[in-house]
Amino acid sequence: MVLVNGCVGTATTATRGGIRAYYINARGAAERRLAMEDGFRAIGTTLERVAATDATRASELVRRFETRTCKRKGWATSGDDGVEKFSGTYLERLGRTLSHLSAIYEAADAGAETALVLEDDASPELMATWMSGLEEYVSRLPEDWTLVQLSALGESSAIMKLFYDWQRERKTAPGRYLSSLPKGMRRLHGTQAYLISKRGMDRLVKAYRAPVTKEVDVCSLTCVEFDECVLADGVKLDNGFRVATPPLFIPHGRDKGQKQGNTFHEVRDMMYSWAATLSLTKGMSANMFMDGKLIRAVLREGVKVPDKLTPNSFHEHFNYHCKLNHGGGARCAIKRSYLKNQKPPPTFHAKEEDSDVEAGETASSGVESSLGSVAIPRQSLSLDGSSSRRTALLSPALLSVYIFAAVALGMLVATNSARVKNASLEELRSIRSTTIDAQTEEYYS
């Protein structure tokens, strides 16, 4: 077993202070196993495989985990009222929990100070956007950290809350470098990749491990869902339980929890843009406007040259991708808007019923933030950068002024309609918009 030595360089024997890396892989998933071991070995990291718990048969689970003090009737239930005990969904969720706890127990038994736990669909591709290697990343975490989700998903509103909270907090961070935020009550989930400290491992061992069999005590689980219950209750949902900002890993498949109309791909592209723009500007600015399809194409090319896959190398990979596919030149330009810092909107105290971005019917709805309430126009959630500039809230006095102005403007338009109709096409164009030279909107990377 070897440590993740900054995620680059030659793998070495695990030592105190190093990061032990594990990945969970199901029996028979040989293709994923090879992809994980070859992919991470190419960048100087060796992973230890942890066999995923087979949860397809309830009888097999009962035989393995039922004990004299924990009969099957006392096993934890699902946190979802619609999932019956020992149903297919129940077994799937329980199997994931048992697999992850097995990996954590292995790390604890090995005396690891820090463990990186991955599922077998993780990819090192996003490393090119990282500000540093994993060991330096860990060194920047608060001393009392217990667990950091390196890959987190949720609704676009939840990702926006995290992004805007990060933008506000990083202003006072040393060097404007803020690698994580407390998870708190954020509606984020994800078990694809996370770091766990010795303190976090010890808490999970104490909370859920049977002292005699050394297996998971299923009766001690608060529910069978791993991230929503087991981690939050076992590690404790305090400031030590954190989320990476921006995420260091991003899933590739479609997430079943995503609602129709708020697709997995949209949320994923938002996080891709966050990471890529932060890397391109050397940590000075970040936004969610960059083309996610472009980023994915660049990262796919980066994986093909693993010897160049190092932190802070996204700009180099971008140049490589453009030269390889387009021959370089102006076609490889990055829009200036992609590098524009997306600042948080002003905070305000909104009513709870107005803070749900999906429930609002107006042009802009308030989104409740963990650091306060923020007003996010619906258009600002789009990925093409065409954010609306309309004001989120209007006072009664200001509203009356707008109504008076609208009436006066209507009378003025009616009076001068004939003159406007006779205006030339060129004049109308000059009134409605101003042509912007494409060269001023782009620069060669």
Check which CATH number belongs to the domain holding 134 and give it. 3.90.550
What's the pLDDT at 235?
Answer: 95
- Domain termination residue (choose one: 252, 282, 301): 252
Number of domains in the chain: 2
Q: Could you tell me the residue range of the domain that residue 421 belongs to?
A: 399-444
Point out which residues pair with 23 in neighbouring strands: 49, 118
C-alpha pair distances (Å), 123 with each of 29, 133, 374, 412 = 16, 15, 34, 61
What are the CA-CA distances from residue 349 to residues 346, 353, 359, 369, 372 (Å)? 10, 12, 17, 10, 7
Q: Is residue 321 part of a domain?
A: no
Determine the pLDDT at residue 378.
29
Cα within 13 Å of Cα(344), Cβ side: 24
Residue 228 maps to a domain? yes
Backbone angles phi, psi at 118, to 5 degrees: -125, 150
**Of the residues 252, 284, 307, which one is the last residue of a structural domain?**
252
SS3 315: helix
In a domain, 1, yes or no: no
**429 in a structural domain:** yes
CA dihedral of 362, 367, 372, 374, whole degrees rounded to 10 = -50
Residue pair 337/289 in contact (Cβ under 8 Å)? The answer is yes
> pLDDT in tens for each of the 445 residues of the chain?
344 544 433 333 333 348 999 999 999 999 999 989 888 887 777 899 999 999 999 999 999 999 999 999 999 999 999 999 999 999 999 999 999 999 999 999 999 999 999 999 998 889 999 999 999 999 999 999 999 999 988 899 999 999 999 999 998 888 888 999 999 989 898 899 999 999 999 999 999 999 989 999 999 999 999 998 999 999 999 999 999 999 999 876 544 444 444 578 889 999 999 999 999 999 999 999 998 888 988 998 888 887 788 999 999 898 888 888 877 777 677 888 888 999 998 763 333 333 333 322 222 333 333 332 222 232 332 333 333 333 333 445 544 555 555 555 555 444 444 343 333 333 323 322 333 333 323 322 2
pLDDT at 137: 95
Burial readout 410-428 (b: 16 or more C-beta within 10 A, e: otherwise): eeeeeeeeeeeeeeeeeee
Residue where a domain stops, chosen among 229, 252, 275: 252
Cβ atoms 7, 122 nearer than 8 A: no
User: CA–CA separation, 152 vs 158, rounded Å?
Assistant: 10
Helix axis angle, 264-280 to 314-326, nearest 10°: 110
Instruction: Please report whether residue 125 resides in a domain.
Output: yes
Tokens of 48: 């230890």
* Measured distance CA(169)–CA(158) in Å, rounded: 17
Q: One-letter amino acid identity for 375?
A: A
Q: Examine residue 133 and state whether it is found in any structural domain, yes or no.
A: yes
Q: In angstroms, rounded to a whole number, what is the distance separating the alpha carbons of residues 273 and 247?
A: 11
The predicted pLDDT at position 334 comes to 80
Tokens matching residue 21: 């890396």
pLDDT of residue 408: 58
Res 325: pLDDT: 80
Q: For position 50, what pLDDT does the model report?
A: 97
Q: What is the pTM of this model?
A: 0.74
Q: Is 235 exposed, middle or buried (0-12, 13-18, 19+ CB in 10 A)?
A: buried
Distance CA 182, CA 147 (A): 10
Element (H, E) at 333: strand 333-335
Report the DSSP beta bridge partners of residue 114. Answer: 19, 197
Residue 432 lies in a domain: yes
From the list 432, 357, 350, 346, the residue with the least C-alpha distance to 391 is 346
Distance of alpha carbon 45 from alpha carbon 22, whole angstroms: 11
User: What distance, in Å, lies between the first and last C-alpha atoms of the chain?
Assistant: 40
211 falls within a domain:
yes
User: 235 is written with which tokens?
Assistant: 């590690």
Contact 55, 95 (CB under 8 A): yes
